[in-house]
Structure 1
Amino acid sequence: MNNNIFQKIIKNEILAYKVAENSDHLAFLDIHPMKIGHTLVIPKKSNRDKIFSLSKKEFISIMSFTRKVAIGIENIISCNRIGVFVMGFEIPHVHIHLIPMNKESDVNFTKKRMVLSSKTFQGLSEKIKKSIDALMIPMK
């Protein structure tokens, strides 16, 4: 399996501001967010880099997990919706971007990203994690 940055986060070799985790998936704040609350969702066990190369079961599982994470974010971050983006060019590992949005122009992957303090990341990740944990939706 490729030892990319996501694999290092999964193995706890580098810091990540985790908001949700189960045996198959991990969600954590993007360290270079477009908007406050920008979160990445990844499978822990798959070494695939294209979401549609996941098995049907893996795809349904990650999307179910992603839904719960998105609802948890939306309960904390004031926004019109949570945008869901799958591109995967920058890191060869399936990953889903969840981005709080008020308008389409809020998301531009070529635009300069935000810089936040570790204190801000820590507080935000704790709030989102509590929001997700409080949801009664099973995390598959």
Structure 2
Amino acid sequence: MNNIFSKIIMNQIPCYKVAETVNQLAFLDIYPIKIGHTLVIPKKNIDNIFSLNEKEFLSIMSFTKQVAIGIKKIIPCNRIGMFIMGFEIPHAHIHLIPMDKESDANFSKKKIKLSDKQLNIISEQIKMAINLCITMK
């Protein structure tokens, strides 16, 4: 599969990276439904997250938790919603969305327009919060 996520993984397309491991990548959604909306993907090119083997699945869930904790430290919200849908891009991905109410997760609502500068600032803040959480363990 050659899709936008594959190109991001191969550094052919830039992204607003917030965290990365050998096997996973987390970056801001450039068409967010809420500020801080982040995508978590396996670097393995797979369409369905439930097709990951047990070790890979548990690893991406652990990574996703770290990313969510970092987002929550930076973006004021009641909780971070986690959504796995995967209809728009044929590559497994998890949406992490800062939420105050259920309607914050309405994917059909108008997307937020953020500047490159705003996306850079948000991604750097979340990245620092994630790194701080990891070093405090």
Q: Normalised by the shorter chain, which TM-score bucket?
A: over 0.9
Contact 1:68 1:137 in 2 (8 A): no
**Paired residue type of 1:50:** N
Q: Which residue of 2 aligns with 1:74?
A: 72
Report the Cα offset of residue 136 of structure 1: 2.9
Q: Which residue of 1 aligns with 2:53?
A: 55
Contact 1:41 1:96 in 2 (8 A): yes
**Paired residue type of 2:11:** N
Is structure 2 residue 99 aligned with structure 1 residue 105?
no
Q: Which residue of 2 aligns with 1:32?
A: 31
Is structure 2 residue 115 aligned with structure 1 residue 117?
yes
Q: Deviations over 1:9-28 (max 9, x none)?
A: 01111110000001000000
- Structure 1 stretch 35-44 or stretch 105-114: which is displaced more? 105-114
**Paired residue type of 2:103:** S
For 1:51 and 1:137, locate their aligned partners in 2 and report how far apart those are by CA, in whole Å.
28
Q: Which residue of 1 aligns with 2:89?
A: 91
Count of residue pairs brought into register by the alignment: 136
Gap regions ≥5 residues in structure 2:
none
Contact 1:9 1:16 in 2 (8 A): yes
SS at match of 1:23: coil
Identity %: 66
Gap regions ≥5 residues in structure 1:
none
For 2:134 and 2:56, locate their aligned partners in 1 and report how far apart those are by CA, in whole Å.
22
For 1:37 and 1:107, locate their aligned partners in 2 and report how far apart those are by CA, in whole Å.
12
Q: Which residue of 2 aligns with 1:10?
A: 9
Gap change, CA 1:84 and 1:76, over 3 Å in 2: same
TM-score, normalising length: structure 1: 0.94
**Paired residue type of 1:21:** E
**Paired residue type of 2:80:** I
